[in-house]
Amino acid sequence: MSLLKIENVVKRFQSKAAVDGISMEIEKGTIFGLLGPNGAGKTTLIRMITRILHADEGKIFLNGEELNDMHPSQIGYMPEERGLYKKMKVGEQLMYLAQLRGMSYDNARKSIGDWLTRFEMKDWWNKKIDELSKGMQQKVQFVSTITHDPKLIVLDEPFTGLDPVNTEMMKNEIINLKNNGATIIFSTHRMEQVEEICEEIALINLGKVILNGNVTDIRNTYKENKFILEFNKLPGKDLSSDFEIVSSDEKNMIIRLKENQTSTQLLQQLISDGAEIRSFNESLPSLNEIFIKLVTENK
């Protein structure tokens, strides 16, 4: 069952449609990648999901109920533009934000304490925000987003400013939140991060969804029948008359099959020509390659 359902949503600014008839569903307990170039409409859509903006047309449903002013307490939103009060202390700021979302003092204090300990931040309670590095502030913002145990978590470029160790720590916590039932919208320009943690994606361009589906299925849809081979011994015969050689060196080769050719035929040919194959893998396009291809085609 979908946690979030978006039906033909439109948002205009003056005469321009920033979001132009977008529809999609996001299943419960998934990590969903919301992708698109700058100005595609991602942030406008996120602001409608989080009730910062209201749609001009269409409807948004959370857990089967049309989105209303009671739902923000069930949503955690970490915007790309950080919204921390620089002169406030970490603890008092997190307490303030948690109580704004309806948590009692005791529940907020316990949840914040648990998260600060988990993120190795338990000694930060009395530090002012402007005393922290950008990466440390990012971790505080993440804690403020999830303290109230939201059903839907929206993360816009959550790894900005984090070193590799803290990126991995936050990534693991995002996966743990998903495994514990949270639904997560992950918006980023970093395609390699999307491939690592997202199960489903939507690619938005010029206010419209131009691609939507399972990450693995999408990569398979756009594959080009290319295979990466590593050899202990190269074949004794030139293969270029039978197959398209994309690249080749002393130990490696990338081959693209022609129409109606199969990988079995390629392997049989290589073996009959005396090749000793160390590895044989199909080369699927990265999301970054698919992203560039589709955005370029949809200008």
Which residues lie across from 10 on neighbouring strands?
A: 20, 57
Same domain, 62 and 197: yes
Q: Which residues contact 179 (CB under 8 A, 6 or more apart)?
A: 29
Residue 292 domain flag: no
Residue 115 domain flag: yes
Same domain, 236 and 107: no
Residue 263 domain flag: yes
DSSP secondary structure, 129-152, as one string: GGGS-HHHHHHHHHHHHHTT--SE
**pLDDT, tens only, 186-237:** 998 788 888 889 999 999 999 999 999 999 999 989 988 899 999 898 888 8
Same domain, 109 and 142: yes
**pLDDT, tens only, 251-293:** 888 988 888 888 888 898 888 888 889 999 988 888 888 888 8
Q: Which of these, 264, 114, 292, 272, lies nearest to 205 by C-alpha position?
A: 292
Same domain, 158 and 76: yes
CA distances from 245 to 221, 240, 253, 258 (A): 22, 6, 7, 10
Residue 138 domain flag: yes
Residue 69 domain flag: yes
Same domain, 182 and 271: no
Give the whole-angstrom CA distance, residue 147 versus residue 121: 14
- Strand 75-78 to 244-248 pairing: unpaired
Residue 289 domain flag: no
Given this model, what pLDDT does residue 196 score? Answer: 86
Give the whole-angstrom CA distance, residue 113 versus residue 107: 10
pLDDT band of residue 61 (cuts 50, 70, 90) is: very high
Given this model, what pLDDT does residue 175 score? Answer: 94
Q: Provide the residue type at 94 as one letter.
A: L
* Rounded mean pLDDT, 108-122: 92
CATH number, domain at 237? 3.30.70
Same domain, 139 and 255: no
Give the whole-angstrom CA distance, residue 162 versus residue 142: 12
Given this model, what pLDDT does residue 99 score? Answer: 92
CATH number, domain at 187? 3.40.50.300
* Rounded mean pLDDT, 150-178: 92
Query: Which of 60-69, 106-115, 159-168, 234-243 comes out lowest in average pLDDT?
Result: 234-243
Secondary-structure breakdown of the chain: helix, strand, coil percentages, each rounded to the nearest 5: 35, 30, 35
Assigned token pair, 158 = 């959550």
Q: Which of these, 207, 195, 257, lies nearest to 229 by C-alpha position?
A: 257
Given this model, what pLDDT does residue 56 score? Answer: 94
- Strand 226-233 to 183-187 pairing: unpaired
**pLDDT, tens only, 129-157:** 989 888 889 999 999 999 999 999 999 98
Same domain, 78 and 211: yes
Helix pair 164-179, 134-146: axis angle to 10 deg = 10
8-state DSSP, 30: -
Strands, E assignment, 41-118: 57-62, 65-66, 75-78
Given this model, what pLDDT does residue 171 score? Answer: 92
Alpha-carbon dihedral sign for residues 160, 165, 171, 177: negative
Q: What domain range includes position 128?
A: 2-220
Give the whole-angstrom CA distance, residue 218 versus residue 202: 10
**pLDDT, tens only, 6-53:** 999 999 998 889 999 999 999 999 999 999 888 889 999 999 999 999
pLDDT tops 80 at residue 83: no
What is the distance of C-alpha 237 from the center of its chain? 45
Same domain, 152 and 264: no
Alpha-carbon dihedral sign for residues 139, 80, 181, 221: negative
Same domain, 189 and 129: yes
Given this model, what pLDDT does residue 81 score? Answer: 79
- Our separate counts of H helices and E strands in the chain read 9, 14
pLDDT tops 90 at residue 108: yes
Same domain, 203 and 237: no
Residue 243 domain flag: yes
Give the whole-angstrom CA distance, residue 163 versus residue 153: 22
CA distances from 44 to 9, 47, 79, 226 (A): 11, 5, 12, 38
Q: How many domains, the chain?
A: 2
Q: Provide the residue type at 219 as one letter.
A: R
Given this model, what pLDDT does residue 4 score? Answer: 96
Assigned token pair, 216 = 């693995």
pLDDT band of residue 185 (cuts 50, 70, 90) is: very high
Residue 183 domain flag: yes
Same domain, 229 and 206: no
Given this model, what pLDDT does residue 296 score? Answer: 86
Same domain, 85 and 25: yes
Given this model, what pLDDT does residue 72 score? Answer: 83
Given this model, what pLDDT does residue 243 score? Answer: 86
